[in-house]
Amino acid sequence: MPRGVAQSLGREPRTVTLVRPDDWHLHLRDGAVLQSVILDSARQFGRAIIMPNLKPPVLTTADAQAYRDRILAALRQAGAPAGSFEPLMTLYLTDRTAPDEIRRAKDSGLVHGVKLYPAGATTHSDAGVTDLLRHCRATLDAMQDCGMPLLVHGEVTDPEVDLFDREAVFIDRVMLPLRQAYPALKVVFEHLTTAEGVAYVREAPGPVAATITAHHLLYNRNALFKGGLRPHWYCLPVLKRERHRLALLDAATSGEARFFLGTDSAPHAKGAKEQDCGCAGCYTARHAMALYVSAFDAAGRLDRLEAFASLNGPAFYGLPPNAGTLTLEQVPEQIPASLPLADAEVVPLAAGESLAWRLRAE
Ligand code: NCD
Ligand code: ZN
């Protein structure tokens, strides 16, 4: 036997054990697709903030309750132990969301945020908000009063603005006036992708936080064009330059309370991405924690992973950390070329590549 193999066989792999993490930004979809993806998240995370961009969107507390019931049914059908995964529901903000609906949502105890999609910004955002500070004032007042967080897709949709600058311009045009008008409103800047975004979130007054995806920590925009056009690396906000990736990595591994984990795992069937106008969204749920551990390990900051993945998010949302733990081990695992998705398949991010870490079997 070659010496290297013998040595590695004789050594225990490195492991990392954390308080069971949560995913503060997740797309589970509905129906048969929901059934296909639900265990990928439930195996790793105790809770997840469930994005409301279904077709039609989740507009009311009653819609959110019904969607939550479908998620719980899918968990049961998939054989997940009862109570092992809690979906934290959200509403989809429109120009017409009523302040009363916000209070109903808060009173339900099931709705933990209201998502702002600027109309046209991303997948299933056509029902989104056209002008936040013109049309949603009374609704934002109600949110501020009852402590309901606003979760923002932080990109302007102005076609004059370069795609790669849309987050920075959103800060100037929306975040700054929003913070001024609603200084006590809780705001989560979702899937932060730029150095400007990191600087803003670090310094902004009031209760502001941000989620960061694994793919924005691991890859820059070269991944979109490596050897050809790569649709499975296309998401919104789009991958950015290396200096932005480094700023995000610095923020995520800083331990600062304002930054926490949100995968933005967004499954689309292979055929919906591999076409002349492919959908935005990367499927990362299956290997989510292995991806994040790889990013933190490469930065030499495994000691800060628990704050980012398991502690900062609950603190911002006013929830206790999960009971129980999750362990990952440094054993290589290959990401499959595709995974089943209802009657089709989904190509996971980094399909075919080898990850240095994997979940330890319970
Ligand atoms: C998301 C989706 O597919 O629902 N897509 C994506 O590229 N992230 C929507 C979103 O979060 O923007
Ligand atoms: Zn998303």
For 77-106, the pLDDT digits (tens) are 999 999 999 999 999 999 999 999 999 999
> Which of 90, 166, 236, when mutated, tests ligand 1's pocket best, judged by the most ligand atoms within 8 Å of its CB?
236
What pLDDT does 332 receive?
97
The CA 112 to ligand 2 mean position distance, Å, reads 16
Q: How far is the CA of 289 from the centre of ligand 1 (A)?
A: 19
Q: What is the pLDDT of residue 17?
A: 98
Residues with CB under 5 A from ligand 2 (ion): 264
Q: Assign domain 21-324 to a CATH class.
A: alpha beta
Pocket test for ligand 1, best of 122, 234, 349 (most atoms within 8 A of CB): 122
Residue 290 φ/ψ, nearest 5 degrees:
-65, -40
> For ligand 1, what atom is nearest to the CA of residue 191?
11
- What is the Å distance from ligand 1's center to 284 Cα? 12
For the chain, give every domain's residue range.
Answer: 21-324
What does the pLDDT read at residue 6?
Answer: 42
- Cβ–ligand 1 distance for 280 under 6 Å, the answer yes
Does 281 contact ligand 1 (Cβ within 6 A)? yes
| Rg value, the chain, Cα | 20
Residue 5: band (very low, low, confident or very high) from pLDDT cuts 50, 70, 90: very low
* Encoded tokens for 228: 């050809």
| Residue 198 near residue 178, CB atoms below 8 Å | no
pLDDT at 133 (0 to 100): 95
Q: Is 266 in the pocket of ligand 1 (CB under 6 A)?
A: yes
- Pocket of ligand 1 contains residue 53 by CB under 6 Å: yes
Residue-level pLDDT at 11: 81
Q: How confident is the model at residue 67 (pLDDT cuts 50, 70, 90)?
A: very high
Closest among 233, 232, 226 to 271, alpha carbons compared: 232
Answer whether residue 116 shows pLDDT above 80.
Answer: yes
Q: Let me know the angle formed at the C-alpha of 117 by 290 and 257, rounded to the nearest 5 degrees.
A: 45
Name the closest ligand to CA 153. 1
Q: 295 CA distance to ligand 1 centroid (A)?
A: 21
